[in-house]
């Protein structure tokens, strides 16, 4: 069964639509009655994350906190639920709660997908048609009152998968999820269900972990064996690598956007927007970086766009620059 959501999800816009709370829209037929139509992945709750296919711009994946995992193959116009195997394998259904950064696609072999949900890691080797548990055991029936954070995931260009759990233990798999090895624990002082820490990779292979809600961004040049702390005074809410080279952008809890062009060795604050975040709050925003130097930052309902890797910025108002779909 396919359902329809309002408007196409392009590769860039998808990251900002991840925080949209309303999943259905009303179509009034009279002054008295209204008819409601389902427009996409729903049932209440949040779309926690949206991940674009690395080579097919028509394919998009959406993770929800209540309804599972969805795939679109027409740039977000229609969606199909793809999480049946996980739902059959986890009797404690309320544990199937996704958070941001818990889904990864192998950039070279996109048929290999990973989903770090309900304290486990699930892998698909056929493009999401079937799923197998590759780490952890399913929560027990009745264990619905304490949902686990799951694993934040990152997949390198060579197929190496990194997984960071809710206790900030970092593991690596170099055989598509068949086996996992613990790495040196990154210096994340605490973790949170609202803003869990997450790993990500630069285009040159450098491994990074945003320590949120702890302060700092840590960088490893040796695959997670040793760590170097950067931006120690900042809580990094979101970060993205440039598609090529050694660049990265990091947005902190006070509204500052930091840029590094040398693999994290040094940072420059290049943009500041009105924003205040504190532990216990969700971060409803996003950051996207494209190959052509375009950077998009969304925070506190403000969207700013840049076309020269962060040098100059233009504010785009939702009311005038975005089509909400129909």
CA atoms within 13 A on the CB side of 64: 23
In this structure, is residue 316 part of a structural domain? Answer: yes
Parallel, antiparallel, or unpaired: how do β-strands 248-252 and 295-299 relate? unpaired
Q: What is the pLDDT averaged over residues 171-180?
A: 96
d(CA 250, CA 231): 9
Q: What is the pLDDT averaged over residues 186-192?
A: 80
d(CA 258, CA 248): 8
The domain tally of the chain equals: 1
In this structure, is residue 67 part of a structural domain? Answer: no
Task: Indicate if the pLDDT at residue 21 is higher than 60.
Answer: no
Q: Which domain holds residue 251?
A: 184-326
Q: What is the pLDDT of residue 238?
A: 92
For residue 274, give the H/E element and its range. none
- Model pLDDT for residues 63-98, shown as the tens digit of each residue: 887 778 899 999 888 999 999 899 888 877 667 777
**Confidence bin at 10 (pLDDT 50/70/90):** very low
Q: Cβ distance 139 to 150 under 8 Å?
A: no
Which residue spans within 108-167 are E strands per DSSP?
A: 113-115, 121-124, 132-135, 152-155, 161-164
Tell me the whole-structure pTM to 2 decimals: 0.82
In this structure, is residue 253 part of a structural domain? Answer: yes
Task: Indicate if the pLDDT at residue 255 is higher than 70.
Answer: yes
In this structure, is residue 110 part of a structural domain? Answer: no
Q: What is the CATH number of the domain that holds 242?
A: 2.120.10.30
Task: Indicate if the pLDDT at residue 161 is higher than 90.
Answer: yes
Alpha-carbon distances, residue 318 vs 1, 27, 287, 303 (angstroms): 31, 21, 16, 8
**Confidence bin at 310 (pLDDT 50/70/90):** confident
Parallel, antiparallel, or unpaired: how do β-strands 78-81 and 121-124 relate? unpaired
Q: What is the pLDDT of residue 41?
A: 57
Identify which has the larger pLDDT, 319 or 136.
Answer: 136
Identify which has the larger pLDDT, 274 or 178.
Answer: 178
Q: What is the pLDDT averaged over residues 203-220?
A: 92
Task: Indicate if the pLDDT at residue 52 is higher than 80.
Answer: yes
Task: Indicate if the pLDDT at residue 42 is higher than 70.
Answer: no
Q: What is the pLDDT of residue 323?
A: 61
In this structure, is residue 34 part of a structural domain? Answer: no
SS3 105: strand
Q: What is the pLDDT averaged over residues 182-193?
A: 83
Task: Indicate if the pLDDT at residue 324 is higher than 60.
Answer: no
d(CA 31, CA 153): 48
Identify which has the larger pLDDT, 160 or 88.
Answer: 160
SS3 296: strand
In this structure, is residue 248 part of a structural domain? Answer: yes
**Confidence bin at 257 (pLDDT 50/70/90):** very high
Identify which has the larger pLDDT, 269 or 65.
Answer: 269
In this structure, is residue 268 part of a structural domain? Answer: yes
With 0-12 / 13-18 / 19 or more C-beta atoms within 10 angstroms meaning exposed / middle / buried, residue 48 is buried
Q: What is the pLDDT of residue 147?
A: 55
Identify which has the larger pLDDT, 192 or 209.
Answer: 209
Q: What is the pLDDT of residue 145?
A: 56
Q: What is the pLDDT averaged over residues 149-153?
A: 85
Q: Comparing 89-93, 113-117, 135-139, which segment has the lowest mean pLDDT?
A: 89-93
CB atoms near residue 326 (< 10 Å): 8
Q: What is the pLDDT averaged over residues 216-243?
A: 94
Q: What is the pLDDT of residue 319?
A: 63
In this structure, is residue 302 part of a structural domain? Answer: yes
């Amino acid at each position: 069964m396919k359902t329809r959501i309002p408007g196409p999800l392009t590769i860039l816009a998808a990251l900002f639509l991840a925080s949209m709370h309303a999943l259905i829209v009303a179509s009034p037929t009279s002054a008295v009655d209204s008819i409601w139509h389902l427009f996409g992945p729903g049932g209440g709750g949040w779309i926690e994350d949206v991940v674009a296919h690395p080579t097919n711009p028509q394919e998009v994946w959406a993770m929800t906190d209540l309804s599972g995992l969805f795939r679109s193959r027409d740039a977000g116009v229609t969606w199909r639920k793809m999480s049946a195997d996980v739902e059959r394998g986890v009797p404690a259904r309320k544990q199937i709660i996704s958070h941001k950064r818990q889904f990864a696609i192998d950039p070279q072999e996109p048929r290999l997908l990973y989903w770090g949900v309900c304290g486990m890691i699930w892998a698909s080797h056929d493009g999401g048609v079937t799923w197998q548990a590759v780490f952890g055991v399913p929560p027990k029936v009745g264990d619905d009152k304490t949902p686990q954070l799951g694993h934040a995931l990152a997949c390198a260009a060579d197929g190496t998968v990194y997984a960071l759990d809710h206790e900030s233990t970092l593991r690596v798999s170099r055989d598509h999820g068949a086996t996992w090895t613990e790495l040196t624990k990154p210096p994340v002082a605490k973790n949170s269900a609202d803003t869990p820490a997450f790993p990500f990779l630069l285009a040159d292979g450098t491994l990074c972990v945003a320590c949120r809600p702890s302060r700092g961004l840590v960088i490893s040049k040796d695959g997670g064996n040793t760590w170097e702390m950067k931006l120690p005074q900042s809580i990094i809410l979101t970060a993205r690598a440039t598609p090529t080279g050694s660049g990265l952008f990091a947005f902190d809890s006070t509204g500052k956007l930091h840029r590094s062009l040398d693999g994290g060795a040094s940072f420059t604050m290049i943009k500041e927007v009105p924003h205040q975040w504190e532990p216990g709050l969700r971060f409803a925003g996003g950051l996207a970086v494209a190959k052509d130097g375009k950077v998009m930052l969304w925070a506190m309902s403000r969207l700013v766009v840049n076309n020269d890797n962060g040098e100059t910025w233009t504010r785009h108002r939702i009311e005038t620059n975005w089509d909400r779909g129909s």
